[in-house]
Structure 1
């Protein structure tokens, strides 16, 4: 089986990590992987490091036909059987290459909760007959996609997975990075969020919740772990709330797996979320989770079983849930133990097996 993974992003975020996990697991199953990516991107460096055959493409919106023609020629000359379109720009380019004559089946990944556009291009590419399946990262995303396209039967759920083995060397007992780096006394709890500082992750609700917890007498330091376009604006909001000394903005970090086990609680306040793999990371580290009911989160965080949930933009209810976890050790231990069992269903191995099954189904049908 010869699969080309089309990835348009310059940077490396959750979607790129998921694509890398998938490629590595598929290789173990004997799949021949190829990559289409931007020149100079993080994924080009990954392909070079992993010695995966690849082609660089511009993903230009202005002159897309040159890239689409280059992609078509690469697909046909390398006898690619299936193109997996991992991003929105990849979706556009892959469909165009197919229209121009690329002889490969198309599979699309859908990882976000946003509605598809109503403009003619969006409607065309999401309803394009050459796309055989749309792999949705959660049931929530699948239901949304199924209601937005003509052939809802194309939509299937394939959950994201994490590398569970990567967390085995990090435990709460040996996690001291945050306290050492930021000189935090041992009588202060550590509560954090790992996500981009952008509109949809809603760090404003995170900060409003922090303010209520501080007013309730909780002694803690709070961590915003990540970077993003709203970083300065969110820092200013923290200062306005009088939280400048309480909230630590770490910026982008590369050692999240070392940091997470040190947290006493993971507080996830997003308003839109396809799934939220950072919640799975917290599960793997036995860190109790309080989160909003956005998107696919309730498919992981089962209220009162693997974590606690509250409606979006409700800092008052989020603060109540946090206090409940902090003050009830029996509940806390139950949540983390159940979460450790739940996360086993979300391994990168399971994701790859499910994806491979979809590939095989498509290619078998194409032979008929």
Structure 2
């Protein structure tokens, strides 16, 4: 089978491909190949880990040469199934089918919780005959997709997975406190993820300001990079938070840093599932989050965490205060969350994804 990944950077979707490839490699009857964009983060990952791959020049999303090469690769390697992991991968598969006659059945991953564009071509792509199943990473995503899909049996929910074993065994190493001279009596309230509109970091900063004004002597740590970094830093300074907020940038040691968080504050505006929240829960960190998309399937209010309306920094600040001022509540929610998160393992994701593959191949035969 072939995994098609065309993203240039490394985000949650690319990590899911890495997890899935690793888990499926334990299945002796499955041979996998990754096709990715040349000089992308996935290309480097495959090269560094000696994974079977082909790197193509991507160019743009309507690159017919890429679509033609995809057909040639499918023929050369006798590919029986393609898994399309991003929107441009979806585009190339449709082009490869329509222009070059590539009839390899496809499974498409859908990771975002916004609706399909209401135009003829978008609906054509998502209802294309080669798209046999659409894997939605949460029930929220599946519900959003329903109106656009003619044959709704194509939609199936398979939660994204995390490395539970690694996270549950993670321990605080003092890296953040040492690097940024954070005192032991200062709680660390953090978030991880790309600095994009989707993650709602302006609400994170507004919440930090309200908590600081309320006398909470905490450090607010943001781990990640993105195009909003400069604007966010300027906003933090305008809110006089430069001594309270730490922009830690992109880190490869997030698993070592997460256990230092005393509280995870997720302020996302839109979220397919929320792997960062899932990872925090697996580490036993109390979570206060916005009720965005699939986040509500992880954070069950008053059971596995506390939820607030999207964009409501005042409500978020109240929930953070509750957790900081009531350690028993925070501990119980974190314990419940660790139990709830067991169904979100990367092994379980791979198992359910393999069931989808077998269903598609069984139907094709």
What does residue 167 of structure 2 align with? 167
Confirm or deny: 8 A CA contact 2:23 2:350 kept in the other structure.
Answer: yes
What do residues 173-216 of structure 1 show as CA deviations (whole Å, max 9, x unaligned)? xx201110001111111101111111111111111111111111
User: Structure 1 residue 319 and structure 2 residue 328: aligned?
Assistant: no
Greater mean deviation of Cα atoms: 140-149 or 59-68: 59-68
Q: Secondary structure at the match of 1:18?
A: helix
Q: Can you give the 5+ residue segments of structure 1 that lack an aligned partner in the other structure?
A: none
What do residues 10-65 of structure 1 show as CA deviations (whole Å, max 9, x unaligned)? 11111000011001111112211011101111211222233332222233337622
Number of residue pairs matched by the alignment: 363
Q: CA 1:305–1:168 in structure 2 vs 1: closer, same or farther (change >3 Å)? A: closer
CA distance in 2, matches of 1:60, 1:42: 15
CA distance in 2, matches of 1:143, 1:59: 32
Confirm or deny: 8 A CA contact 1:146 1:153 kept in the other structure.
Answer: no
User: Structure 1 residue 225 and structure 2 residue 207: aligned?
Assistant: no
CA distance in 2, matches of 1:126, 1:52: 30
The structure 1 segments of at least 4 consecutive aligned residues displaced by more than 6 Å after TM superposition are none
What does residue 60 of structure 2 align with? 61
Confirm or deny: 8 A CA contact 2:61 2:92 kept in the other structure.
Answer: no
Confirm or deny: 8 A CA contact 1:59 1:89 kept in the other structure.
Answer: no
What does residue 123 of structure 1 align with? 123
CA distance in 2, matches of 1:366, 1:159: 25
Confirm or deny: 8 A CA contact 2:14 2:42 kept in the other structure.
Answer: yes
What does residue 49 of structure 1 align with? 48
Superposition pairs of residues 274-313 of structure 1, within 5 angstroms: 274-313=272-311
What does residue 264 of structure 1 align with? 262
What does residue 73 of structure 1 align with? 72
Confirm or deny: 8 A CA contact 1:34 1:54 kept in the other structure.
Answer: yes
TM-score (norm 1): 0.96
User: Structure 1 residue 94 and structure 2 residue 87: aligned?
Assistant: no
Q: Can you give the 5+ residue segments of structure 2 that lack an aligned partner in the other structure?
A: none
Q: Offset of 1:168 from its aligned partner?
A: 4.5
What does residue 14 of structure 2 align with? 16
